[in-house]
Amino acid sequence: MGNGASGLLNAFRQGSPEAFDAAFETLFHQHQRAVYGWILRIVRNPATAEELTVETFWRIYRARDRFQPERGFEGWARRIATRAAFDWLRTARPEAELPAEIPAPAAADPAVSAEIRGKIAQAFQRLAPKLRIAATLAVIEELPHRDVAEALGISVAAVKLRVFRALRSLRKDLQQQGITP
C-alpha cells in the first residue's frame, strides 16, 4: 500500500471534516463495486445489493472512529457489508429473496428438473440466515473458508460447522418434500 493509499485511509480515520469527506467519497468510488459484488453474492438480487451497498457505506461512515488504517479498508468494509446483508436476510421474507435475475447455469444437469431446482432454492431460503450466508459463500460461491471466516468474524472451524449444519438441514427439508438428494 503506497503513501497515497495510506494517506487516504488516515484522512478517513482522523482527517479534518473536509479531508474526511473527500476521503470518504474517494473510498466509496474505489470500493463500491467490490462491496456490491460481495453483497450480491449473499443476497443474490441486484436491487437489494445496491440498497445494501449504500447501507454498508452509511455504516462505514458512522463507524469511522473504529477504523484501523493499518488493517486496511477492504476487509473491514467486507465485514460491515456481510453484517448488513445478514441483517437484511433476518428480516426479509423468503419469497422476496428468490434469485429471479440470476441466470440458470449453462451446464445444468438435465436429470434435475427446473421444479426440483426451484424446491432446492426455496428450501435454501428457509435456512437460518447465519447458516445460509456461510453455505452461500463457501459452497455456492466456493470461496476459501478463511475468507468466509474473516468476513463473518468467526473461525474457519465455525465456518465448516455452519456449512455442515446448513447442508444437513437442507437435506432434511428436501427429504420431507420427497426429494432424495
Q: Applying CB under 8 A, does 54 fall inside the site for other proteins?
A: yes
Q: Is there binding between residue 170 and other proteins (CB under 8 A)?
A: yes
Letters for 63-92 (x = contact with other proteins by CB under 8 A, - = none) are ------------------------------
Task: Answer yes or no: are the C-beta atoms of 63 and 80 closer than 8 Å.
Answer: yes
First to last CA, the chain: 47
Spell out a b/e string for 144-165, using b for 16 or more CB atoms within 10 Å of the CB, else e: ebebbbbbbeeeeebbeebbeb
For the chain, the residue count is: 181
**Minimum gap (Å) between residue 181 Cβ and other proteins:** 5
For the CB of residue 71, give the shortest distance to other proteins in the complex, in Å.
23
Q: Which amino acid is at 107?
A: A
Helix, coil or strand: residue 62: helix
**Minimal distance, residue 150 CB to other proteins, in Å:** 19
CB 129 within 8 A of CB 152: no
User: Which residues of this protein are in contact with other proteins, per CB under 8 A?
Assistant: 25, 28-29, 32-33, 36-37, 40-41, 44, 46, 49-50, 53-55, 57-58, 61, 99, 102-105, 108-109, 112, 116-118, 120-121, 124, 135-136, 139-142, 167-168, 170-171, 181
